[in-house]
Chains A and B, each alone.
Chain A
Amino acid sequence: MNTNMAVCIAVIAKENYPLYIRSVPTQNELKFHYTVHTSLDVVEEKISAVGKALGDQRELYLGLLYPTEDYKMFRKLHNSFTDVMCNPFHNPGDTIQSKAFDGIVSGMMVQTA
């Protein structure tokens, strides 16, 4: 097992609903959903704090969002997400169903096999 790989990747809309969420060990899926959802607290906190302090110079990487003893959570995946958003057929706010995005996510994740 490679510990450096992601086990759950989620893209969250700014209204806080999941645009994309995928996790590797499927039996833990529910737990990941709870965790990702809760970590939005910290995301909101950090984003608002950054907004106040620096204005436009937002640091896109928000750091550790929700420390657990099992996994570490970070925000990554900006480039691929940008690609999805640049797709003229993608309606911002819809859930992401891009295969390319899925592939990149798979690459970042732990291989279950």
Chain B
Amino acid sequence: MRKKIFFNNNIPLPPLELLHFFFFALFTSLYTSLAQQLPREPMEWRRTYGRAPKMILLEANFVQFKEELLPKEGNKALLTFPFLHIYWTDCCDTEMYKSSVKEDMMRWQNSLRTHGSSDWVIIVVETNDTKKKNKTNILPRSSIVDKIRSDFCNKQSDRCVVLSDPLKDSSRSQESWNSLLLKLRTLLLMSFTKNLGRFEDEMRTLREKRTQPGWSFCEYFMVQEELAFVFEMLQQFEDALVQYDELDALFTQYVLNFGAGDTANWLGSFCAPVRNWSGLLLRRPIDMEKRDSIQRGEASLLDLRSYLFSRQCTLLIFLQRPWEVTQRALELLHNCVQELRLLEVQVLEGALDCWVFLSCLEVLHRIEGCCDPAQLAANCSHTVGLWAYATDKLKSLGELCGLVSKNGPNSEDLNRTVDLLAGLGDERPETVNSLQSPYKKLKEALSSVEAFERHYLELSHAAMEMYQAIGRLRSARLVGKSLAEFYMRKGDPERAETFLQEALKSYVSEGWSLPVTHTRRQVAECQKLLSKTEDYLQTSALLAGDVNLTTDERKHFCQEILSFTGKSGDQSHKVTLSMGVFAQLTQLKFHPAAASVHSGAVLQVELTLRCLMPVSVRIQQLVASIHFEVDHGGTHGRSKGAQRRTHPGTVVFRQSNSSAGPPSSAGAGPSLELDEIQDRSPSDNSLNSTGVICKNTHLLMRRHDSNSPPDTPNCISPPTVGIKEGAQMLKVQDVTLEPGNNSITFTAPPGTYTLRQLCATVGEVQFILPHIYPSAQYEVYSQEPQLTVEPLSEPLLAGLPQKVKFTLLTGHYTVKKGDALQLSNTETMPILPSTSCTARISSPTSELVGESTLSIQSSEKVTSISLPPAPPYHTLEFQLEVLCIIPSGADRPANERLTNGEVRHRPRSYSHPDTPMTAIDQRMSIDCPWSIYSTLLALTFYIPFKTKHSLLSAGNRQYIQVCVQNVSDVNFALAEVKLTEKQHASLELQSLNTKTQQLLCCKHSVFCLWEVRWKDDLPSCLQCVFSANFSPLSQDISAYKPFHYQFQLERVTTLYSVKAEIFPPAGEQRCRSGVLCGLEVCITRLTEPAEGEIAEDSKTETDGPKTTKLMYEVADSSSNWAVCGKSSGMVLMPMTANATHKVQIEVMPLFAGHLPFPKIKVLKYLPHTAAVAIQPDPDSCVENDSLSLLDKTLDDQGDTASIRSRGSVHSVGSGDQQQKGVAMPRLEPFSPGQVFNHSHACQVLVLPATDDHIMEVNAT
């Protein structure tokens, strides 16, 4: 028994019908189990072209071998392809094999070879039964197999398989069964891969030929679809889908190329007029009808697309991607419409709408069929597009067929409907029995107005709800708008308005001007129909000002308003509209700019209104209501108004475009309005705190989520705020506003007011601007006259004539002829008479009004300045020259009273922190004609010089030195320098100054020296006056001004002379460093004691010879000398002339060279006083500290002297000090000049020490 079987794929497809199965009894069971068990285990399928390997299950169909079933050359059918040929035999008899089986096998092999098939296998079935039957001529089992292998399987031993006892349930048979299955799977897959690869290659070759003439897309379609079928059969839906997608893309590309002018011949069949628009059919796995028409090349574009999509849909649903179906469906529908347009295919009007509508619903039904409702609801974002598309299409069908109009369809419409329905054909058998099908729906909807409305509303609401559910509000509103248009056609404006307003709100808030205009026009139509007068006028005004409309349209809407205003209707009721729709306040300007004038002057408020109307509009009345500001009346506001704005006098209002441009202003909100605040202490006006406040928080801090739209003129409803009754108003009657900018001027009444509202009245209509923002304030005020004096140049220098400027703000006062200012004269600051003094009168805007010469009359006590007449609120300016006399120092005149009885304050000099110059404040008292009180004004002068004096002595000779330092910034010339003594006529002061004139540059000093000569006795106290003339360098000699400096010198006489000598050590010629030498100090009394001196000392000394105690001190500050032994000591000095005292001290030079003598100081020694009455207070202790310390260096004697000489400090010997005298002995330095040091600045030569290895060079 032998059977040749070929092994085929199990494909549930028609071609199989041609085959019939032939089984022998034994094999029936074998085939069944083979067919069952073969796909049980997956095989790894390695693929060509780098595609990822997959695990697949192989299913197979077994068919009896017939030669005519072998594929002919060029046969592309892959589905009916025999992949593996199996030769079954149970022959175990050698004879039999040799006689017939081998021959049969040969024939089989030959026929395979001629057809080029190399995929075969020989299965030898062994059973015990067969073995038993023919025991005698049985060969060993292996021998038959070996024979077959050697005969046929040349090097391919795996092509022959043994199956032993397949029907038995032994482990051996099981094992052989399994290995057979594996072998079959492997071989089958090998063959499949090989043949598939060949098929794909052939398919590609065919595709590459697509540019050749005669290539047919439909033919190619069938080939590639075959591949898709194979993949589908192998459950490789993804791969199957790829095949269809490739076909889709290829076709799309052809259509696009056609559009670009590249025409393919085969495309002609697709350009045939569309005759059938029955929509997609997705309920069959394969629409054979359409497939056939494609195969025949008779398919239309819609047929091809429909078939392609139905296949893609089937595969996507297999792949469980229903949402991709909906997405692709929408793309497909759009694409088809575009392709038909591109190919210029003839289509009946509305036919495509039908096709799209049916297709949308078909897809939705198909998806509903494979998903549960919850899934559908969760994924309506995927389906809503189809719903909306269907709605849209139904609407346009309704319009086409006259189902939307009020009157219903006419005969033409009915004809069209019939034509459209004819193209639908008969309903498909799949849906004939279902209650609802896309077909039924469309037919019904087109059948009557009512049915259409029902279906259309149902679809619209469904789409809107879905859009809202997924948050696509704009899409929902667009559907709503479409619905509104439907209602308007049906004559139901009430319902339409809701949808339109909703949409309008969204466009306005997002700033889409064109949609705003369009929708607003629809709203206007609604409102007119609904006779909502106010709303309609408001909308009309907005439209009249809308630049997106044509001028004619705008004029129409403007006329709508004007014709309403012309109606003489109910007088009590005026229609109030928002100003913003009519005109915009762009700018507000004050004249003058300070927005603040005195009463009597004219303050004008100029408004710039941009009229948005296309034609000029006559306004009966334009009113600006103003609000009185209580808190700043009077004069305070003046400065405030000026500093508040950056551009004084002009307020520019930010524009929010009414025709909905970018709502950037609305989006960004109002800008911050910040003000600086300063909290000052009420007592001394010092700053307590400062900060910044936001003035418009109420606008900025508004909740953004609240529903109120930005308060731009876009707001749809008219303003609720009317003009306030009883408010004060600025009014203008009968103005004509031209389109564009108009300027309107008001005149402001006195007071401080804020502009609040604006109202324009046109007949029965009022346009109101409820808030003028940013707020604008003006002020008409009254002011007191003010007089100020300020230096013309800073600083004012004392001692020289200086110009000062008088400024008089007349305020409300009118300066009459004969009015004069009365200045009380002071000695320290005379007013210099000048011949020509002119006064300038200028207006508040700083324009020069007039000039006139002032007449100044000076009497002994008063200088009177007669003023020229000047109007109120003008400025009067003039200059005067004054001279501040430099106080010379000592003399203090008694207080005197001024003419007005006030106590004259002596100008006090003080040092100013900003300048090294000493300042003097000069006060002026002025009597003004407008007040009974005197005006007190102060000027600060600065003394340009600092003067110092000092006493110098050489032996008995005395010299006085005066130093003049110029501390100002001006260069001076100094002349006629003099020094005089007041009391002692015998005294002669001989000038040692050679120059008569000195240059004294700024920050420089001049030193002057005089020798004091006397005849009889030198007075102990000298009263000196230094005087000089000075003038700024640039001026001539006549401008010289005197400068005086008084001072007093005390204790001028030289009392002691100190002489020191240094002796080398005994036996040496010179001093040597490191060797002790002797220092002899010789103190000599030069004069008899003066009276004052005796008086000083008499308190401490009792009777007896008059002596005084001196303290000497040898101090070497430069460490040149080492003092050995006592460096200081006390000397009792007889108070007679030429009394001498010598002191020997040992000193050691530390260096070699010319060394200066060590310093020798002589101090007054005051022993402790017996009478100590008062406890020393801490202050005096501190004061005395410096003097009681022995080793304190007292180098700064010069300074002490200068202080003392001014007479302000009486430190030495005054009773005061003595009273407080401390219980300790004290030391007191002598005044400069009282002790003359002979050896001051003497030097002695010191030789180096004998050991001269160390050489020190001391350069001083």
Contacts and interface: CB of A to CB of B under 8 A. Distances in A.
Interface stretch (B333-341, B419-427, B716-724): B333-341
Interface string B661-683: 11110011000000000000000
A80 B413 CA distance: 51
A2, A30, A69: most-surrounded residue (chain B CB, <10 A):
A69
Interface in A28-79: 29-30, 33-34, 37-38, 40-42, 44-45, 67-70
A34 B334 CA distance: 18
Given A3-B259, A69-B338, A94-B662, A17 B510 contact: yes
Contacts of B515: 30, 33-34, 37
Nearest to B473: A41
B474 interface: yes
A40 B472 CA distance: 9
Interface string B1143-1177: 00000000000000000000000000000000000
B512 A18 contact: yes
Interface of B is mostly: helix
Nearest to B479: A38
Contacts of A68: 334
A86 interface: no
Contact of A41 (B472, B518, B662): B472
B507 interface: yes
B342 A34 contact: no
Contact of B662 (A19, A38, A45, A69): A19
Interface in A2-26: 2-3, 13, 15-19
B384 to A, nearest CB: 10
B751 interface: no
Contacts, number: 73
A103 interface: no
A42 B514 contact: no
B511 interface: yes
A29 B471 CA distance: 26
Nearest to A42: B472
A17 B338 contact: no
A68 B335 CA distance: 9
B478 interface: yes
Nearest to A13: B662
Contacts of B512: 17-18, 33, 37
Nearest to B665: A93
B1131 interface: no
Count class of interface residues, chain B: 20 to 34
B334 A94 contact: no
Nearest to B259: A3
A34 B337 CA distance: 21
B338 A38 contact: no
Contacts of B475: 38, 41
Nearest to A17: B511
A106 interface: no
Contacts of B518: 30
B478 A67 contact: no
Contact of A16 (B260, B356, B510): B510
Given A17-B510, A37-B510, A45-B471, A93 B662 contact: yes
B1246 interface: no
Given A15-B667, A67-B331, A37 B661 contact: no
A40 B474 CA distance: 8
A54 B202 CA distance: 44
B886 interface: no
Given A67-B334, A95-B661, A45 B667 contact: no
Interface string B249-267: 0000000100110000000
Contact of B514 (A17, A30, A45, A94): A30
A16 B509 CA distance: 9
A45 B472 contact: yes
A88 to B, nearest CB: 18
Contacts of A37: 474, 507, 510, 512, 515
B474 A38 contact: yes
Given A3-B342, A16-B510, A30-B518, 9 more contacts: A16-B511, A34-B478, A37-B510, A40-B474, A45-B472, A67-B334, A67-B385, A93-B662, A93-B668
Interface of B: 256, 259-260, 330-331, 333-334, 337-338, 342, 356, 381, 385, 467, 470-475, 478, 507, 510-512, 514-515, 518, 661-664, 667-668
Nearest 3 pairs of A and B residues by beta carbon: A17-B511, A41-B472, A69-B337
21 contacts: A2-B260, A13-B662, A16-B511, A17-B664, A33-B512, A33-B515, A34-B478, A37-B474, A37-B515, A40-B510, A41-B471, A45-B472, A67-B330, A67-B331, A67-B385, A69-B334, A69-B337, A69-B338, A93-B662, A94-B662, A95-B662
